[in-house]
Amino acid sequence: MTLWEGRLGGTADEVMAFTASLAYDRRLAADDLAGSRAHVRGLQRAGVLESGESAVLLTALNRVEEELASGIFVFQAGDEDIHTAVERRVTELAGDVGAKLHTGRSRNDQIATDLRLYTRRELLAVGAAIIELQDTLLHRAVEAGDAYLPGYTHLQRAQPVLLTHHLLAHGWALARDLDRVLHSVVRMDVSPLGAGALAGSSLALDPDGVAEDLGFGSRFENSLDAVSDRDFVAESLFDLALLGVHLSRLGEEFVLWSSEEFGFVVLDDAYATGSSMLPQKKNPDVAELARAKAGRLIGHVAGILATLKGLPLAYNRDLQEDKEPLFDAFDQIKRALPAVMGMLGTAHFDTDRMRSAADGPAAAAVDLAEWLVERGMPFRQAHAVVGSLVRDSVQRGVPLSELVQANPHLGTDALGLLEPGVAVTRRTSPGGAGPKPVAVQMERFRHRLDLDRQRVSHSAAAAHVMGSADDVARSEA
């Protein structure tokens, strides 16, 4: 049986095989049921359903929910998608009244509603997981104390930085990810239910009441836009892709740092993998896959934009292709975040290795130049003085300290700058990598994290997403 048997004859099997979405959209079942309940209550308020009828429908919807939850729901060959399956079963359970469920509604506004409910909840769960990862970063940052390592540009040693500073750099990127997620949630908080197939209805529907019932901040303004808008999918995919890119960059550093060449980090056994052939290997597969998943997430962004770009208003079946990339992106990110968090939380930082790499003779080159600046020399000239000392030292194999001492501009007074551990303490400007500004930064980060934790809980509460942000994260795990 199809939903359009009044108009068309049977559908070919291969058409069904090609067009059906049930295999993946069944994960929207809970949201579909929520949408249907709100719709039924709206129809009753509109006087389209009598209270007895809506009670029968709501009971049937509850029964469907139980059947789905306990795994006894039987999907049938004609169930093209989750909407069809639910409506079919409601009709079996509720008899004639079941035929009234879809009054004034189309699968077009229905799917748009389901997917917004789902996406809003999932994004908030991702938000809660981001917070946990940031918390781990903060923990490790606190623990790092006065450890320092070389900071790099072009992957060449540049200036020493506190390990705390380096870890928090990733934390701030995640703070932007979280901010983006929360803003996307606000933008997508609009109910499309009541837009019908594309133009609304002749029946006295109550889209405002339905929106409120579903915990949306508002209802659509334009029915054509309501059923064709997938900005929220594209935006979410971008949010997840950029988050993926940040995890990828962190992953890449762990790949480098765990190599024998760097030796800055030793991964916990539980977060490393071995080799099937080489007995000595300990591989950073979590970090590598964190790096790789970004490619796939970026692909999803490109894919959805390409799908959307040529679509005339309003609904087109092309829009069904929004779901698999979106679901996949959530699945990947929700597995990546705890894995990366575990890797980071359990890793052993070899701070001796970091320190000896950072204490290379040229680490304080810019400090020598700035020392000259403080004594009145223009920076460009100071840069040239120190640059030629470094060049001499490299070419003639003479220790830089000897050349500094012998230099008339520098001399013994400047030698202290070359002492191990001194350079990093001289990064005193706000937001800089030395102990003073980093202590300030850490407090600001902690404060921001507290605020963001509250923002996630508030958004979840506003969206009628049950429980605290932590519960959300757990239920989505």
Where does this chain bind ligand ARG (CB under 6 A)? 21, 25, 81, 107-108, 111, 315, 317, 319-320
**Can 154 be counted among the known catalytic residues?**
yes
Contact between residue 115 and residue 233 where contact means Cβ atoms under 8 Å apart = yes
* Helices within 79-159 (DSSP H only): 82-94, 107-143
460 closest CA partner among 232, 125, 233, 112: 125
CB of 27 to ligand ARG, least distance (A): 12
CB of 15 to ligand ARG, least distance (A): 12
With b for 16 or more beta-carbon neighbours within 10 A and e for fewer, the 69-108 pattern comes to eeeebeeeeebbbbbbbbbbbbbebbeebbebbbebbbbb
Catalytic site residue from 51, 70, 154, 276: 154
**Can 202 be counted among the known catalytic residues?**
no
Strands (E), 314-448: 348-349
CB of 26 to ligand ARG, least distance (A): 11
Contact between residue 272 and residue 283 where contact means Cβ atoms under 8 Å apart = yes
Q: Record the tokens describing residue 355, joined without a space.
A: 């320190």
Q: Whole-angstrom Cα distance, residue 276 to residue 84?
A: 48
Catalytic site residue from 139, 218, 259, 275: 275
Q: Whole-angstrom Cα distance, residue 386 to residue 367?
A: 10
The three-point CA angle 213-215-220 to 5° equals: 85
- Considering the complex, state which of residue 20 and residue 344 has its C-beta at the smaller distance from ligand ARG: 20
Q: Whole-angstrom Cα distance, residue 271 to residue 23?
A: 33
Q: Whole-angstrom Cα distance, residue 54 to residue 32?
A: 17
CB of 84 to ligand ARG, least distance (A): 8
CB of 317 to ligand ARG, least distance (A): 6
Rounded to the nearest 10 degrees, the angle between the axes of helix 82-94 and helix 29-45 is 50
List the beta bridge partners of residue 190. 218
Distances (CA, A) of 372 to 160, 368, 379, 420: 20, 6, 8, 20
Q: Record the tokens describing residue 218, joined without a space.
A: 């508002």
Q: Residues in the chain, how many?
A: 477
The three-point CA angle 21-67-86 to 5° equals: 40
- Considering the complex, state which of residue 121 and residue 426 has its C-beta at the smaller distance from ligand ARG: 121
Q: Whole-angstrom Cα distance, residue 184 to residue 392?
A: 56
- Considering the complex, state which of residue 232 and residue 315 has its C-beta at the smaller distance from ligand ARG: 315
Q: Whole-angstrom Cα distance, residue 65 to residue 92?
A: 14
Q: Record the tokens describing residue 403, joined without a space.
A: 């050349």
CB of 109 to ligand ARG, least distance (A): 9
CB of 124 to ligand ARG, least distance (A): 22
Q: Is the dihedral of CA 255, 261, 267, 271 positive or negative?
A: positive
Could you say which DSSP state residue 103 is in? T
* Collapsed DSSP state (helix, strand, coil) of residue 159: strand
Q: Whole-angstrom Cα distance, residue 364 to residue 93?
A: 78
Q: Among all residues, which ones are annotated catalytic?
A: 154, 275
